[in-house]
Amino acid sequence: MDSAAPVAMLKRRLDALESEQPQGFIRLSTPCQVDHLMGWMDGQRALPRLYWKAREADAPEYAMVGVVKAFDSLAALHQDQDALAACSSEQPDYFGGMAFDPDAEGWTGFGACHFLLPRLALKRDGQNSVLSLNLRFDDRPREQELADARAALEALNPPRPLPPMKPLSLMREDTPSRDEWVAQVHRVTQPEQLRRTPKVVLSRETCLHSAEMPSPWALLSHWQARAADCFQFGIQLTPYEAFIGCPPERLYQREGTHLVSEALAGTTPRGRTAQQDGERAAALLSDAKNGLENQCVYQQLLSQLEPLSCRIDMGEAHIVTLRSVLHIRRLIHAKLHPGVSDQALLDTLPPTPAVGGVPRQAALAFIRQHERQRRGWYAGVFGRISHASSDLAVAIRCAQVGKDTIRLYAGAGIVKGSEPDAEWRELDSKIADIMALLGMG
């Protein structure tokens, strides 16, 4: 990619702003040829860095660096959207995520909620790539904003070739251990416990120790090549902490008042042939335990969306085929009441029973009491929010990349009929792609 010319163009556009009276939010954009966005991300030194692509094959990719403004609550984000709606014709995209449980101790460096309006965004949409510089003049001195924007442009680096994936000599540590897992699954499936809490999604953290921190962007680049049908995200807030993932599950997509959500739960490993896949898919759809896992998610989403919507259309259960596993999915389309905000949706929907349980509070209480690992942003929410449209994934199939550890997360819905050994194997199949990349497959 030749970024010198686009950067020079944006600097000229900035110079032109000096003599104007810019108001509110302004996005300066220029075409910018890109070969590989991950190489661009890896080449940058400024922080934060954030990458996002929704799971549709033709969804645009966003690679972002630097920050204009950050938000540590949905209320603050919503307030900002309202403020800009009142003073700007263009509205920004905000990117970020939320922890699984804001009331539990999370990961160092990752708050309960963190969304940001990036300073620079490289957006690739089909054949078109555009580099944008975001600015705002409603809440800060004009001279300072222009100087900060110029500094961000000057700090931009060219992309660099991604380092090859080195075989890491990794020591593996599971929390819970396999024995603890067996005990936890037995506890959840006791009849008395199931009567009060019919579903709890238990999780595992697999901690891999490595001598040096791999580039999170090189890892994500390899991982995304194996997860074309999934959302793909990465966020790096500090030099030694990044969170990446390729989740298959959508929390919701909103276009105006039209909302699409889904229940993705119920799992079986892929077969070795197309015929075996077909047999496993049929068995999965008729299996009581997996059906119940999905039903819990679907019903809760429906009952939560009901008061927010004037119309809800329910879809049939069908199979989603990923590289290593098959899942059951049911789609939900809703027409929201006018004025239902992303804040209202995000205050209501997560954590869904695909990652928490039913009833929510009892399941969360169980998880807080029995899980030793910190879920942090695993099983939280990650995505893009804007005034006109939003798209958010459930942050599963993910890894936290630290200075000398890589932590992989996987969970399994435990309901009546769950067997500890089969559920443990389900955890491994869910993260098989990233395990294989790390030489642990």
172 close to 205: Cβ distance less than 8 angstroms: no
CB of 293: closest distance to Mg ion in angstroms?
5
Show Cβ contacts of residue 154 under 8 Å, excluding neighbours closer than 6 positions.
none
Q: Is 397 in the site for ligand ISC (CB under 6 A)?
A: yes
Instruction: Report what 385 binds from Mg ion, ligand ISC, none; CB cut-off 5-8 Å by kind.
Output: none
Q: Is 329 in the site for ligand ISC (CB under 6 A)?
A: no
Contact code string over 265-304 relative to ligand ISC, x by CB under 6 A = xxx-------------------------x-----------
CB of 4: closest distance to ligand ISC in angstroms?
42
Closest to ligand ISC by CB, 22 vs 269, is 269
CB of 267: closest distance to Mg ion in angstroms?
4
CB of 179: closest distance to ligand ISC in angstroms?
21
| Among 236, 267, 295, 341, interactor with Mg ion by CB under 5 A | 267
Enter the tokens of residue 377. 């942003």
Hey, what's the torsion of the CAs at 27, 33, 35, 40, to 10 degrees?
A: -40
320 close to 329: Cβ distance less than 8 angstroms: yes
Q: Is 371 in the site for ligand ISC (CB under 6 A)?
A: no
Cα separation, 296 vs 354, whole angstroms:
8
Q: Which range in 195-203, 267-275, 310-318, 332-340 contacts Mg ion by CB under 5 A?
A: 267-275
Enter the tokens of residue 220. 């994500």
For 111, how many CA atoms within 13 A lie in the half-sphere containing its CB? Answer: 11
H or E, element range at 281: helix 274-286
249 close to 229: Cβ distance less than 8 angstroms: no
Enter the tokens of residue 91. 């509205």
Closest to ligand ISC by CB, 28 vs 201, is 201
Closest to Mg ion by CB, 81 vs 267, is 267
Nearest to 35 by CA among 43, 47, 24, 27: 43
Q: Residue 266: left if φ>0, alpha if ψ -120 to 50, beta else—which one? A: left
**Residue for token digits 């290593």?**
324
Instruction: Report what 106 binds from ligand ISC, Mg ion, none; CB cut-off 5-8 Å by kind.
Output: none
Instruction: Report what 26 binds from ligand ISC, Mg ion, none; CB cut-off 5-8 Å by kind.
Output: none
Nearest to 319 by CA among 358, 280, 355: 280
Instruction: Report what 242 binds from Mg ion, ligand ISC, none; CB cut-off 5-8 Å by kind.
Output: none
Closest to ligand ISC by CB, 327 vs 374, is 327
Instruction: Report what 410 binds from Mg ion, ligand ISC, none; CB cut-off 5-8 Å by kind.
Output: ligand ISC
Closest to Mg ion by CB, 391 vs 426, is 426
Contact code string over 224-263 relative to ligand ISC, x by CB under 6 A = -------------------------x--------------
Q: Which range in 43-51, 207-215, 263-271, 294-302 contacts Mg ion by CB under 5 A?
A: 263-271
Nearest to 393 by CA among 97, 107, 185: 97
Cα separation, 433 vs 100, whole angstroms:
23
Closest to ligand ISC by CB, 37 vs 431, is 431
Largest CA distance in the chain: 73
Query: Please, is 194 exposed, middle or buried when counting C-beta atoms within 10 Å of its C-beta (0-12, 13-18, 19+)?
Result: middle
Q: Is 410 in the site for ligand ISC (CB under 6 A)?
A: yes
| Among 92, 118, 351, 411, interactor with ligand ISC by CB under 6 A | 411
Q: Which range in 40-48, 168-176, 188-196, 404-412 contacts ligand ISC by CB under 6 A?
A: 404-412
For 141, how many CA atoms within 13 A lie in the half-sphere containing its CB? Answer: 4
Q: Is 80 in the site for ligand ISC (CB under 6 A)?
A: no
Q: Is 132 in the site for ligand ISC (CB under 6 A)?
A: no
Contact code string over 339-368 relative to ligand ISC, x by CB under 6 A = ---------------xx-------------
Cα separation, 30 vs 43, whole angstroms:
20
**Residue for token digits 């630290």?**
402
Cα separation, 30 vs 41, whole angstroms:
18
Q: Residues interacting with Mg ion, by CB under 5 A? A: 267, 412-413
Q: Residues interacting with ligand ISC, by CB under 6 A? A: 201, 249, 264-267, 293, 327, 354-355, 396-397, 410-413, 430
